[in-house]
Amino acid sequence: MRNLHKYFILLLFLFLTFSIRVFSEDNLFKKRLKEAKKGDFVVFEYNKLYSSLSVFEIDTENNRVILEEIIIPKDSFDKKLSFRDWIEKKANESTSWTMYEIDLSENKIIDTYSVSRNCFIDLKNQISITTKLLDLDLSKLLDRDRKKIGPPPSVGEVD
């Protein structure tokens, strides 16, 4: 019985140590944000829209970041331009241009400014896709684990 008690304590200790380690680590999106430099960006596509999310400013001392989100309908985007060139040319035909100051410790929006409307927006108590990404358990997938779409490859062609 005494040995069983020791094993239980050992298992409990290992479980708690593992749990603390897992839940204290940042997810992939937050980790990348903390490693990002001003001007780094990512583009998402959803509902026939492109959303460019770029790092405008990083405050490592206060664990905060200012992100700039610019949205354009997929059909309106000039495919001849890169997203970086499009942004540098004042994001012509964008439907929304918003800047978010985010507290990375709390995963909360501190302040929001609409560049397209030229005013501040109160989003402090709103659900935001950006802050949701900070909470999601994202991890990198190997190519072989990704969902394959489209027709199967021709004979001899690598998928």
- Tens digit of each residue's pLDDT, the chain (159 residues): 554 444 444 444 444 444 333 344 567 777 877 888 999 988 888 889 898 889 999 988 888 999 999 999 999 998 899 998 998 888 889 999 999 998 888 888 888 999 989 999 887 666 666 667 777 776 777 878 877 777 888 888 776
Q: Rounded distance, CA 77 to CA 84, Å?
A: 12
Residue 73: per-residue pLDDT: 94
**Would 112 be classed as within a structural domain?**
yes
CB atoms within 10 A of CB 72: 21
The pLDDT value recorded for residue 75 is: 93
| Residue 154, domain member (yes or no) | no
pLDDT at 101: 92
**What's the domain count of the chain?**
1
Residue 84: inside a domain, yes or no? Answer: yes
Residue 4 lies in a domain: no
Residue 57 to residue 62: CA distance in whole angstroms: 12
Is residue 43 included in any domain, yes or no? Answer: yes
Domain that holds residue 51: 27-136
Contact 98, 114 (CB under 8 A): yes
pLDDT the model gives residue 35:
84
Measured from the Cβ of residue 117, the count of other Cβ atoms closer than 10 Å reads 11
Per-residue confidence (pLDDT) for residue 29, from 0 to 100: 75
